[in-house]
């Protein structure tokens, strides 16, 4: 088996060796999937995983725009259309200076598995640009979004490819992107998700990824006869996912002790309550400033510059910032400090060494493709509401989100249950693979 896996990886490596994040995401599924595929006659010998590792299409384009000083700026835009076996391409757009093809291919690859787990009919894609929205005026962000959409619009559509937000792309950016699409096509359609409520958005979509991550952590804990109530929670990030993960933890009676951003970690030993969280939301969403400004209002908190939260004592860790933000060393420290549950709000935040360590120590560990699937799941519900030309209430959407997270938990158990440990990663990988693979087999070699 080892040889089959290493032969497969060296074949993938030949085409993609210069894309480390993408190779990492592929490696992360092969140990689970290849033995499973080999054991199943219907999948063996059909090169299905190899086909899943090659994007169906990659679009790469120039994005020119003019800044407030009249200077002409050039960025690079992308859309990776990874797999459309079970539905139109679906996945977010990321605007961050680190964006490159490797990062977007890893995200698109993960998205295929994640979307499959939601049970909704969505294929996988991801896109974005190396544009940095930090320190840009609203006008600059708008002009960038309009220029980006002026190329992207010809490749997307409500039954073709439906982008949404990710790092650096929130409600403001989705608004500007939607406005330009509508203007170019003269069509009001559900071509993007994460829209504003008055123009086709779904209630709970902004909350969905963070809420869903906490629902999943709660499902894992409940299964072991535990709960989040009264537990201390370390959260990284202070963007969309982190904010609503924190809100749901507070609602469930847990104590949120950290949040962070790219400048460092905020530690509030008294707990970040609803009032303090709304100040963080103001600082990050409206003022668009650094998280350490929190100390001006709540001086008893501490700020650790350029540090992540993982050396602080907590029961539950929710990495909600970015890929590879939690190292092997961090995992050792978390385990040493008594952490017993890790649920990924971000995509691939735990490095492979950390994941291995969590499994070895039988820590409850949920991979992002399972635990952060609530965001894209509610995007799927937004698409359904757009098609129905109808909107569900907050409670209806929240209820559906909870049910979807419970079903993902069940799917993980089905294929991940070991003697005295649940390998949620393996469960998620196999369960997600089966649905996509069956659709690919049914549709022939295309
Ligand atoms: P936001 O842009 O709203 O927030 C990102 C947060 O992470 C910010 O606090 C940001 O700090 C921090 N961050 C970003 N890059 C780095 C870095 N290189 N080092 C340290 N901190 C960093 O994004 P989201 O909350 O939407 O996304 C967070 C994660 O969740 C990503 O991995 C994304 O792919 C994933 N995700 C998002 C979903 C969604 O619906 N939005 C759905 C599923 C997964 P700063 O403010 O200083 O930039
Ligand atoms: O990583 C993700 O799942 C997202 N950024 C959300 C994608 C979506 O289409 O809602």
What one-character DSSP code corresponds to residue 422? Answer: B
Residue 157: what pLDDT?
98
Name which CATH class applies to 208-366. alpha beta
Fold that domain 54-188 belongs to in CATH: Rossmann fold (3.40.50)
Q: What ligand 1 atom has the least distance to the C-alpha of 349?
A: 32
pLDDT band for 229, please (50, 70, 90 cuts): very high
pLDDT band for 92, please (50, 70, 90 cuts): very high
* Nearest ligand for residue 368 CA: 1
Domain segments of the chain as ranges: 54-188, 208-366
* Nearest ligand for residue 379 CA: 2
Q: Give the residue-averaged pLDDT of 288-309.
A: 97
382 lines ligand 1 (CB under 6 A): no
Q: Give the residue-averaged pLDDT of 221-228.
A: 97
- Topology alike, domains 54-188 and 208-366: yes
Residue 437: what pLDDT?
98
* Nearest ligand for residue 124 CA: 2
Q: Which pTM does this prediction carry? A: 0.98
What is the whole-number distance in angstroms between the Cα of residue 346 and the centre of ligand 1? Answer: 7
What is the whole-number distance in angstroms between the Cα of residue 375 and the centre of ligand 2? Answer: 6
Distance from CA of residue 306 to its chain's centroid? 23
Q: What percent of the chain has pLDDT over 90?
A: 100
Give the burial class of 68: count Cβ atoms within 10 A of its Cβ; 0-12 exposed, 13-18 middle, 19 or more buried: exposed
Q: What is the pLDDT of residues 417-428, one digit of tens each?
A: 999 999 999 999
Residue 119: what pLDDT?
97
From 235, 262, 366, the mutation candidate for ligand 1 (largest count of ligand atoms within 8 A of CB) is 262
Give me Rg for the CA atoms of the chain. Answer: 21
The secondary element (H helix, E strand) that includes residue 114 is: helix 101-117
Residue 47: what pLDDT?
96
What gap in Å lies between CA 162 and CA 415, rounded to an integer? 30
What gap in Å lies between CA 34 and CA 261, rounded to an integer? 37
Q: Write the CB contacts of 295 (distance below 8 Å, at least 6 apart in sequence).
A: 266, 301, 302, 303
Residue 72: what pLDDT?
98
Residue 217: what pLDDT?
98
Number of H helices and E strands in the chain, helices first, is 16, 12
Q: What is the pLDDT of residues 337-348, one digit of tens each?
A: 999 999 999 999
Q: Please report the sign of the dihedral spanned by the C-alpha atoms of residue 279, residue 282, residue 287, residue 292.
A: positive
Residue 281: what pLDDT?
98
Q: Name beta bridge partners: 302.
A: 267
pLDDT band for 242, please (50, 70, 90 cuts): very high
What is the whole-number distance in angstroms between the Cα of residue 144 and the centre of ligand 2? Answer: 21
What is the whole-number distance in angstroms between the Cα of residue 35 and the centre of ligand 1? Answer: 34
Give the mean pLDDT of the chain: 98
Q: What ligand 2 atom has the least distance to the C-alpha of 372?
A: 3
Residue 97: what pLDDT?
98
Give the closest residue (by CA) to ligand 1 atom 10.
261
Residue 37: what pLDDT?
98
319 lines ligand 1 (CB under 6 A): no
Look at residue 201 and give its three-state secondary structure: coil
Contact 177, 215 (CB under 8 A): no
Q: Which residues are catalytic?
A: 126
Q: What is the pLDDT of residues 68-91, one digit of tens each?
A: 999 999 999 999 999 999 999 999
Q: What is the pLDDT of residues 10-55, one digit of tens each?
A: 999 999 999 999 999 999 999 999 999 999 999 999 999 999 999 9
Q: What ligand 2 atom has the least distance to the C-alpha of 163?
A: 9
Q: Give the residue-averaged pLDDT of 162-176.
A: 98
Q: What is the pLDDT of residues 314-333, one digit of tens each?
A: 999 999 999 999 999 999 99
């Amino acid at each position: 088996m080892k040889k089959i896996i290493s032969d497969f990886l060296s074949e993938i490596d030949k085409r993609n060796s210069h894309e480390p994040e993408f190779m990492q995401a592929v490696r992360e599924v092969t140990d689970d999937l290849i033995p499973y595929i080999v054991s199943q006659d219907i999948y063996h010998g059909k090169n299905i995983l190899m086909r899943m590792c090659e994007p169906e299409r990659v679009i790469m384009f120039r994005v020119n725009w003019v800044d407030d000083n009249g200077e002409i700026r050039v960025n690079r835009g992308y859309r990776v259309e990874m797999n459309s076996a079970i539905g139109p391409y679906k996945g977010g757009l990321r605007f961050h200076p680190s964006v490159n093809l490797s990062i977007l291919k890893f995200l698109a690859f993960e998205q295929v598995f994640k979307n499959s787990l939601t049970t909704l009919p969505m294929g996988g894609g991801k896109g974005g640009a190396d544009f940095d929205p930090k320190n840009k005026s609203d006008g600059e962000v708008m002009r960038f979004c309009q220029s980006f959409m002026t190329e992207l619009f010809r490749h997307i559509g409500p039954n073709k490819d439906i982008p949404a937000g990710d790092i650096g792309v929130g409600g403001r950016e989705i608004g500007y992107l939607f406005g330009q699409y509508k203007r170019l096509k003269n069509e009001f359609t559900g071509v993007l998700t994460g829209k504003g409520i008055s123009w086709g958005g779904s209630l709970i979509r902004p909350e969905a990824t963070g809420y869903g991550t906490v629902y999943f952590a709660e499902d894992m804990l409940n299964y072991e006869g535990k709960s989040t109530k009264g537990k201390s929670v370390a959260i990284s990030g202070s963007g969309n996912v982190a904010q609503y993960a924190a809100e749901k933890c507070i609602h469930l009676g847990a104590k949120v002790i950290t949040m962070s951003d790219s400048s460092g970690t905020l530690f509030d030993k008294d707990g970040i309550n609803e009032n303090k969280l709304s100040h963080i939301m103001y600082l990050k969403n409206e003022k668009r400033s650094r998280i350490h400004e929190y100390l001006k209002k709540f001086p008893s908190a501490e700020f650790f510059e350029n540090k992540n939260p993982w050396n602080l004592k907590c029961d539950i860790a929710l990495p909600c910032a970015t890929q590879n933000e939690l190292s092997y060393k961090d995992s050792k420290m978390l385990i040493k400090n008594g952490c017993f549950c890790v649920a990924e709000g971000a995509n691939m935040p735990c490095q492979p060494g950390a994941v291995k360590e969590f499994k070895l120590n039988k820590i409850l560990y949920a991979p992002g493709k399972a635990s952060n699937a609530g965001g894209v799941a509610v995007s799927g519900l937004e698409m359904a509401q757009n098609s129905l030309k109808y909107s569900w209430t907050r409670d209806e959407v929240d209820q559906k989100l909870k049910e979807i997270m419970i079903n993902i938990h069940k799917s993980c158990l089905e294929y991940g249950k070991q003697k005295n440990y649940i390998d949620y990663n393996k469960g998620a990988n196999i369960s997600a693979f089966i649905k996509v693979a069956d659709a690919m087999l049914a549709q022939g070699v295309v």
